[in-house]
Amino acid sequence: MTDTLAPTVSSTSSSGRSGAPSERRVVTAIPGPKSLALHERRNAVVASGAASGFPVYIDHAHGAIIVDVDGNQFIDLGSGIGVTTIGHTDDAVVAAARQQVGELTHGLFTITPYEGYVRVAELLAEHTPGDFPKKSLLVNAGAEAVENGVKIARKYTGRKAVAVLDHAFHGRTNLTMAMNYKSMPYKLGFGPFAGDIHHAPNSYPYHDGLTGPEAAARTIAFLDKTVGASDLACLVVEPIQGEGGFMVPAEGYLPALQKWCTENGIVFIADEIQAGMARTGKYFSSEHFGLIPDLVLSAKGIAGGLPLAAVTGRAEIMDASHPGGLGGTFGGNPVSAAAAIAVFDSIETKGLLAEATRIENTLKPELLRLQKKFDVIGDVRGIGAMIAIEFVQPGTGATTKEPNAAAVAAISRYAFEHGVILLTAGTYGNVIRFLPSLAISDEQILDALSVIEDALAAL
């Protein structure tokens, strides 16, 4: 399909390099011929399990725009699932990484250390919630941070059981698969799974109608009854659940869980892998709820697209492991660390926390307007640049709220064909999530929304 839509012209964002594309432009059928040819090569040699939702092959990207090999320009509302939070190829990140590549690409911190790792740990200690001595461990990916968080909590408490919440997602390794809620696609056929993982009901205000204290009482009663607080090493929560569909828990829910953990010697771990690093207008989403987690897990947005993850928390907990008990060959790679330092610096110097709020202020009123117009939109929720809409069957929004995955699939397909990358989420596949980079302009948001409105009208 050749595009007939007039591309909106928008100014280059503050992080934009001159000549970088800033608008949506569809010049071939999607996927285009070059993408299709690459896809054929890929199908011959890449494992099918690593499937791609949007098989257009990227040539380059900057800010909130992805340019594919056929010259199509997409507005990216997914940021590689919240990874390029400060924008694709952010100038400061690119400069820091380029410089570092020429100086040191690997040292193995647990053999011969280097300053970048230490600096990232200092920045994490400074910006994670809580005013007490903190220490960090750097690793490669979110799942590895979750694994290490659990490992550290077990060592510190001498207990073994782990609690997680319904609708959670924590990764794809063996332990983290067991911590996920959804079987398809994360677990089915991949067992046996790690034991002593306990799934408790969460707070999901749109569906359960419970207040925060009521939902917390339900979670706590479940864990007391089925595990027993004194057996729990840790409770791992995403303050705003990511893959689950951006549920913002009812007020008071998370503080009540934290209080119960503290009273019972359970390590309270906030998985901030998707919601952290300025995404919601605070450094960490825990701050919206007044939480001071014992351990905070970071990954996705921390290094502007380079692989890096971290466990940060109370020094006495982080120090529970014997020397040599924590580590990993690539953990805290010098190039990733240099990129992360540039990300922290950009958040500060470019005022990016305010950009997340600007994005919410542009996006949310428009989505609420669409909700009034289209009764398949059941709920609009989220904070900052982490906003979702939940789709229901027509006419069920006020009653049974029947999931409508077909509408979500049709809208994301339509958006893709018209130059907008739109991610889905939700246990029932009935949520569209907006995870744009903080470099996205209001014009780009409104242009993408006009495509989504057309898609809704075409349902």
Which spans of this chain sit near ligand PLP (rule: CB under 6 A)?
A: 141-143, 146, 169-171, 238, 242, 271, 273-274, 299-300
**DSSP codes of every residue in 214-231:** HHHHHHHHHHHHHT-GGG
In a 3-state reduction of DSSP, which class is residue 177?
Answer: helix
Contact 48, 42 (CB under 8 A): no
Question: Smallest gap, in angstroms, from Cβ of residue 180 to ligand PLP?
Answer: 9
Helix (H) or strand (E) holding 199: strand 197-200
Nearer to ligand PLP, 70 or 238 (CB): 238
**DSSP codes of every residue in 334-378:** HHHHHHHHHHHHHHHHTTHHHHHHHHHHHHHHHHHHHHHH-TTEE
Nearer to ligand PLP, 20 or 143 (CB): 143
Question: Smallest gap, in angstroms, from Cβ of residue 204 to ligand PLP?
Answer: 16
Nearer to ligand PLP, 78 or 171 (CB): 171
Question: Smallest gap, in angstroms, from Cβ of residue 271 to ligand PLP?
Answer: 5
Cα gap 376→306, rounded to integer Å:
37
Nearer to ligand PLP, 289 or 414 (CB): 289
Contact 242, 430 (CB under 8 A): no
Nearer to ligand PLP, 237 or 422 (CB): 237
Nearer to ligand PLP, 143 or 338 (CB): 143
Cα gap 348→326, rounded to integer Å:
31
Cα gap 85→78, rounded to integer Å:
9
Question: Smallest gap, in angstroms, from Cβ of residue 242 to ligand PLP?
Answer: 4
DSSP 47: -
3-state helix, strand, coil split of the chain in percent (to 5) is: 40, 15, 45
Tell me whether residue 334 is exposed, middle or buried, using C-beta atoms within 10 angstroms of its C-beta: 0 to 12, 13 to 18, 19 or more.
Answer: buried
Nearer to ligand PLP, 21 or 301 (CB): 301
Place of tokens 């924008």: 87
Torsion over CA: 222, 148, 121, 340 (sign): negative
Question: Smallest gap, in angstroms, from Cβ of residue 75 to ligand PLP?
Answer: 22
Question: Smallest gap, in angstroms, from Cβ of residue 142 to ligand PLP?
Answer: 2
Segment 259-265 long-range contacts (CB within 8 Å, at least 24 positions apart): 260/216, 260/220, 260/229, 261/235, 261/294, 264/229, 264/230, 264/232, 265/157, 265/230
Nearer to ligand PLP, 302 or 380 (CB): 302
Tell me whether residue 206 is exposed, middle or buried, using C-beta atoms within 10 angstroms of its C-beta: 0 to 12, 13 to 18, 19 or more.
Answer: middle
First vs last C-alpha separation in the chain: 19
Nearer to ligand PLP, 300 or 358 (CB): 300
Tell me whether residue 450 is exposed, middle or buried, using C-beta atoms within 10 angstroms of its C-beta: 0 to 12, 13 to 18, 19 or more.
Answer: middle
Nearer to ligand PLP, 100 or 148 (CB): 148
If you count them, how many residues does the chain have? 459
Nearer to ligand PLP, 229 or 270 (CB): 270
Contact 175, 194 (CB under 8 A): yes
